[in-house]
Amino acid sequence: MSKLQVLEIPHPILRETAAHVEVVTPEIQELLSDMLETMYATNGVGLAGNQVGKLLRVVVVDCGDEKPDPIKMVNPEIISHSENKILHSEGCLSVPREYADVERFETVTVRYLDENGKEQTRTTDGLLAIAFQHEIDHLDGHLFIDYLSQLKRHRLLKHLEKRRKKEAQEAEE
């Protein structure tokens, strides 16, 4: 296993659509393991292919409370969802240390292939449902900041830019 580099905005790969995986090969299994390791090392709860520079529909998620509950998904898709939506604060490893409230479906049913290429269907709510929606968005080139008003998005990006400049200066000193 090896840790991968997580791409941050404005990297163009984050805005591209990831390709369907035809077969879950040993290479895909290794990629999923590496992504999980990378996610744990960076204290994330989810990571999508685009974020590690792989334009493939692969996602890892772990919203386990006390013990780890890793989920590896290939070609995940939301096949149904609740009418009801909830508002929750989201962050993203590709938009480092910025958070904002985003509206998501409260309950979703996701269909995907597991790491053995077996089809799985999972219905969930709460944080895991939010994570599924956030990660599947990545595969279509969407980021959580896309859901914000122009004003809020602008503010968040300015804040990120300011912090990056400050950190770069501090690194020079």
| Sequence letter at residue 53 | G
Stretch that binds Ni ion, among 88-96, 102-110, 146-154, 157-165 (CB under 5 A): 88-96
> What is the rounded CA–CA span in Å between residue 154 and residue 156?
6
Q: Which positions from 23 to 62 touch Ni ion by CB under 5 A, shown as an x/- string?
A: ----------------------------------------
| Closer CB to Ni ion, 92 or 110, in the complex | 92
> What is the rounded CA–CA span in Å between residue 98 and residue 54?
23
In the annotation, is 135 catalytic? yes
Residue with tokens 């990056």: 164
> What is the rounded CA–CA span in Å between residue 60 and residue 41?
13
The count of chain residues that interact with Ni ion, using the rule CB under 5 A, is: 1
Provide the minimum distance between the beta carbon of 156 and Ni ion in the complex, in angstroms, as a whole number: 14
Stretch that binds Ni ion, among 4-12, 16-24, 59-67, 86-94 (CB under 5 A): 86-94
Residue with tokens 């999972």: 122
Please tell me the number of Cα atoms within 13 Å of 25 on its side-chain side. 5
| Closer CB to Ni ion, 83 or 104, in the complex | 104
Provide the minimum distance between the beta carbon of 23 and Ni ion in the complex, in angstroms, as a whole number: 26
Window 98 to 137, contacts with Ni ion (CB under 5 A): none
| Closer CB to Ni ion, 9 or 27, in the complex | 9
For Ni ion, the binding residue among 35, 92, 100, 145 (CB under 5 A) is 92
DSSP notation for 16-69: SPPBPPSS--HHHHHHHHHHHHHHHHTT-SEEEGGGGT--BSEEEE---SSS--
Active site residues: 135
Enumerate binding residues for Ni ion (CB under 5 A). Answer: 92
